[in-house]
Structure 1
Amino acid sequence: MTDHGDESSGIVDVYATPPANLFGDASKSKNMPPVTVLYLLKTVKGPISPTKFHEEIMSGTLEKNALDSLALMLRDVFVPLIGNPRNQQMWPEIVTTSIINNVHGFFSSLQITLGQTKGATCLPLPWDQAVMESAAKSSLQGDAFNSFSS
């Protein structure tokens, strides 16, 4: 994409150095230099405001093993947050059930896909076990995952 914020078309810029191979076999690239991928996403259609750019642009980096990074974030951050009853207090029951079912399905698919990329058959952990393991880790770290509701 060539949109640098002045145009109303295009929403993504991706920069990689050296050229990224995010979904390649990690075992074949042990001697290769680490890849840094920076992505920028416009959250608005139209030119970016010089005063609100921090609200209108999202950015982040991707690591070499994007699927492993995603699985780690899901297991250590999102599962404990979603599984924490304190965070569910203000949610209607149907919303809670829907979110938990969708995250569980995604988590299961991700575990299976990770196994396939490594040439192994990997069955997903049951949701309760995944939540309990993450909760145990967070309690050992001093309950780092606090409720977002005030």
Structure 2
Amino acid sequence: MKKIFQYIVLILTVGNGCMVAGQKQLSSCYDASTYKLIDTSAVYIISEMMGKPYFVKSKSDTVMLNTANKGLQFYKDGRVTAFDRQSPKNNLSGVYCINNEKQEIQFKMKHVQSGKFLSTARLEIRNDTIISDVLPSPQTKGYRIIYVKSKITHK
């Protein structure tokens, strides 16, 4: 009985580790064209999610997201942060590959039931707007988020 339990734990541990290992990990890539597409001195605030304007509940009323401060911050070394100023513990670090050939971001995430997984989004960049299509995974059917550039910086 003890051996069977150890065997099951081993299978679950190896299987859980393969979840991330089996997924294609994005390598950060950037060049001169990257900084014509994105601005690393600005943040991109969520303005729409799944086709609806993004709203946040507050104690007194419902307010537009520009007061909620959720969005993306890109750095010159290929890193990207998905931040939430109201809950900094929910910030995610990831990588981006943005140039004339490819426009993607990826975050390593953890799900309580399925363990670690990679969340990848394909981007379409139009001037100061980023349209992010999060690809389907075992944890989600996929969805769209629209970000708009803001000069307010993320700390």
- TM-score, with length taken from structure 1: 0.24
Which structure has greater helix proportion?
Answer: 1
The structure with higher relative contact order (CA 8 Å, sep 6+) is 2
From the CA coordinates, give the structure whose radius of gyration is larger.
1
Which structure has greater strand proportion?
Answer: 2
